[in-house]
Amino acid sequence: MTGINKAACIGGGVIGGGWIARFLLAGIDVDVFDPHPEASRIVGEVIANAEKAYAMLTGAPLPPRGKLTFCKTLEEAVAGADWIQESVPERLDLKRGVLNEIDAVARPDALIGSSTSGLLPTDLQRDMKHPERLFVAHPYNPVYLLPLVEIVGGEKTSAATIKAAMERLPPIGMKGVHIAKEIEAFVGDRLLEALWREALWLIHDDICTVETLDDVIRYSFGLRWAQMGLFQTYRIAGGEAGMRHFLAQFGPCLAWPWTKLTDVVDLDDALIEKIGQQSDEQAAGLSIRELERIRDENLVGILQALKGGDGGKGWGAGKLLKDFEQSLWVQGGGTTTSFDPSKPLRLVETKVSPAWVDYNGHMTEHRYLQVFGDTSDALLRLVGVDVAYVEAGHSYYTVETHIRHLGEAKLGQAIHSTCRILSVDDKRLHVFHTLHDTATGEAIATAEHMLLHVDSKAGKATPAPAVILDKVKAIAEAHANLVAPEGVGRYVGQKR
């Protein structure tokens, strides 16, 4: 087994719904069992948010969405699944019972992950007949955007199971980290618990409000943590002498009475009401779903920024996203479908996402160029200029662009682009793209591009090989019979 072919999710709450969305958007069929009467609605809302987030996250071609099936029984859900994810409430007796049921009916080679945030896998697998295939797969919310999964084995978990679980996560855009020894709350939640405990004391003692505390995190070290974590951040803080100097300089501070990490605050009614009231004020009337959408848009922006880190190689979670996108291009970006020579090529289908609009609710100028660039990329993949071709050192570079704005693309609007090849020679490719309103077919914008075939390693234009030119010329010859599109060769200020 090299990937996840079919998944089963037992429990469809916040975490379970996130797992379902992650699997579905990776093209994996998912069977779900959740006895909650509104499970279908809850999961549907999570999936809707995930799809909006992915539309902003990547322009790479996602596989066809997997099939979602709600099952009446747990046995029906896990039948045939090769990855089963349990995400029921955090009670040992409940989880142990559910996992025992899964163990009794699952396929012999199925992997069984638990979304527990703190229970030990050894305790969870105690009564299982096949405990070697049980492991903790602890994700972070929202599961469909945050890529980390803590993989923790119990005393009876096999090394082969851990290896298989780690290998199956990158193809769905996730990063597994193997926690070497099982420990309550694992690594992430232990760090969060320490910060949370100190934060509660700061609110209890009226040092600050919940909004002030959140501002301290999000305007300072939270930004550093998002891309370098804790230890690498402190390595830099040590200056040229590095981590050893930092530890020598600030190590003595650990003995100072700064924190109350070992002293538990009393969450009495008064403190709960204080935190609740301040949290309500901070939310300023925004609903949970609105806050989730804002969170997702912010996370997408951070991930996109990290994707361009380290000189374009990607950094941290951004590098993972970059690698994931490249795998999507390899799998779905090289499809050479047949085309109707009597029409322009229809190459890109999309919607105007929230991240694409300006203060008027219209698609911003640079997003038009993005869609037209995606159209050129789709054409190039169609003729064989794919990821492998580019990695081998050759590509087409755009050397001239002219865009005309004819209409308006608005938030949520379905749009698509078409491509005409106007001319081609050994080095040059002259194309004309049109962006359409999918509902009406009307032209919203056009773009005329001149592309030049280059040897990217040598940094100069070179003739394209025959294997590429033959495909391009075949399309160009078909398009030569079409009426020339209105707007070809126009320049700024030219009279109509």
| Cis peptide bond N-terminal to 142, omega within 30 | yes
Residue 14 annotated as binding site: yes
Task: State the CB neighbour count (10 A cutoff) for residue 142.
Answer: 21
Helix, strand and coil percent figures for the chain, each rounded to 5: 45, 20, 35
Which secondary structure element, helix H or strand E, spans residue 160, and what is its range? Answer: helix 159-168
Residue 3 annotated as binding site: no
**DSSP summary character for residue 164:** H
Residue 11 annotated as binding site: yes
In sequence order, the 6+-apart residues with CB closer than 8 A to the CB of 480 are none
240, two tokens: 């040229």
7, two tokens: 């998944």
Residue 229 annotated as binding site: no
Task: Return d(Cα 459, Cα 482) in angstroms, integer.
Answer: 35
Among the listed residues 396, 395, 420, 428, the one whose alpha carbon sits nearest the alpha carbon of residue 477: 420
**DSSP summary character for residue 7:** E
In sequence order, the 6+-apart residues with CB closer than 8 A to the CB of 88 are 10, 11, 16, 94, 95, 98
Q: Give 379-396 as a DSSP string.
A: HHHHTT--HHHHHTTEEE
Task: Return d(Cα 245, Cα 256) in angstroms, integer.
Answer: 19
Residue 15 annotated as binding site: yes
Which secondary structure element, helix H or strand E, spans residue 70, and what is its range? Answer: strand 68-70
442, two tokens: 């009307």
Task: Return d(Cα 146, Cα 140) in angstroms, integer.
Answer: 6
Task: Return d(Cα 490, Cα 318) in angstroms, integer.
Answer: 39
* Amino acid at site 453: H
Among the listed residues 173, 171, 116, 163, the one whose alpha carbon sits nearest the alpha carbon of residue 139: 116
Residue 13 annotated as binding site: yes
Task: Return d(Cα 103, Cα 131) in angstroms, integer.
Answer: 8
Binding residues for NAD(+), as ranges, are 11-16
Binding residues, as ranges, are 11-16
